[in-house]
Structure 1
Amino acid sequence: MVSNLENLVAEWLPLPDLAEALDVSIKRVHSLIDERAIIAVRVGERNIRSVPAAFLLDGAIVDSLKGTISVLKDSGYEDHELLVWLFTPDESLNGTPMDALRAGRKTEIRRRAQALSW
């Protein structure tokens, strides 16, 4: 399943690179993962914990990501399923749900995410 995810996500940031990009400690990155503000999975040949680079926007985590992750987790999605959903192209969105979140369309994406639990 992760290999499919690796094909969907164009760029990955290993956790130390994410810490550098956010200008925070690696400990803070681990806290973000624990708080479910971001999702990290093991990818690549070296099986390194990484996050999609698209989670960052203007040097910060996309503001609406944490709440969207919560909605998807409440709908029963596991981490890899949640990431596949966020990065699978959807014609009705003219991109992916993650693209829509980055564009500030959180209400539409959260509504769709909530509908998944029905």
Structure 2
Amino acid sequence: MSETETAAAPVEWLTLPDLVEMLGEPLGRVHRLFDEQHLVGSRRNGPLAVPALFLVEERPLPSLRGTIIVLKDAGFTDDETIDWLLAEEESIGRSPIAALRDGHKSEVRRVARSLA
């Protein structure tokens, strides 16, 4: 696991081996989570990795998938999607991932749709 700085705080990143261990799933199933947009990852720091904030109770955050789809439909790359989810969003008053983790998916997706 490595850490990268964002504007707000350090972010813990989970690599594929970390995800396989944490989720208790074979590598093929972990790859499917990316293919089906339950997770989004980045290779900007080397191997494919996912912010740990994207998981809750050792599973992908359920509200993350729909939000990823909205952002991808708006033309966001994987890195742009991750950056937007982690950055402070003025209209929400916190980072979108924090709002999703608190159960405010409608508000986050409304803002995400406005980015298209």
TM-score, normalization by structure 1: 0.86
**In 1, are the aligned partners of 2:86 and 2:96 still within 8 Å (CA)?**
yes
Counterpart for residue 14 of structure 1:
15
Question: Secondary structure of 2:48's partner?
Answer: strand
Matches within 5 A, 1:81-92: 81-92=80-91
Counterpart for residue 3 of structure 1:
none
Q: Distance in 1 between matches of 2:44 and 2:15?
A: 9
Where does structure 2 lack aligned partners over 5 or more consecutive residues?
Answer: none
Q: Distance in 2 between matches of 1:101 and 1:77?
A: 18
Q: Distance in 2 between matches of 1:19 and 1:55?
A: 15
**What amino acid does structure 2 have at the position aligned with 1:14?**
T
Counterpart for residue 49 of structure 2:
50
| Higher relative contact order structure (alpha carbons within 8 Å, sequence separation ≥ 6) | 1
Counterpart for residue 94 of structure 2:
95
After superposition, give the CA deviation of every residue in 1:25-72 in whole Å (9 maximum; x if it has no partner).
11111111111111111143xx11111100111121100101000000
Where does structure 1 lack aligned partners over 5 or more consecutive residues?
Answer: 1-5
**What amino acid does structure 1 have at the position aligned with 2:35?**
D
After superposition, give the CA deviation of every residue in 1:95-118 in whole Å (9 maximum; x if it has no partner).
21001111110000000001111x
